[in-house]
Amino acid sequence: MSFAGIKLHQCLNKFSNEDEGMKIISQFATEKNTPIFIHLYNFKEVKKLVQLAQEFPKANYIIAHCMGLETIAKKGESLKNIYFDISTYFIISEKRIRFAMEKFGEDKVLLGSDSPLGDRNLELNIETIRKMDLTEKQKNKILGENIAKLLNL
């Protein structure tokens, strides 16, 4: 099979990040060099994901909507395999984007389009980044270079 990533949504399909299945998925993602995009359900699951990311340092995890960003910053700031999706524009503030960049680096922030809600989500998300006081290099990384690198494109 040819695919670019694995998407998991704990709000729609109940599972725990400490389940054996998550270890199997993390091992598979490591072997296939493909990221795991995950919409976390609650703070307990955020903490469990940090433990999972520590156990599988070669698996890359993209956190949908920067959920649990502050908790991850406290519990797993040293992790190199955590990335943050900044969709959607109406729930991700410039302050949170800057916080993610400050704590994890500009290479760990990814433009996202993961929301069917709202009008012109992707366009407004791009506009947010373009208006921020960032270097062109930082903007380009967030707007596509980071995900291209992560996906080996």
Q: Closest Cα partner for 22 from 48, 47, 57, 2? A: 48
pLDDT of residue 110: 97
Cα four-point dihedral sign 65, 69, 72, 77: positive
Question: Can you tell me which residue has the tokens 């991700």?
Answer: 92
Spell out the domains of the chain, with CATH numbers in brackets: 6-150 (3.20.20.140)
Structure-block tokens of residue 109: 């922030």
pLDDT along the chain (153 residues), means of 10: 86 92 97 95 95 97 95 90 91 94 96 78 91 97 97 91
Q: What is the pTM of this model?
A: 0.94
31: exposed, middle or buried (Cβ count in 10 Å: 0-12, 13-18, 19+)? exposed
How many residues in total does the chain contain?
153
Structure-block tokens of residue 93: 């503030």
pLDDT of residue 119: 79
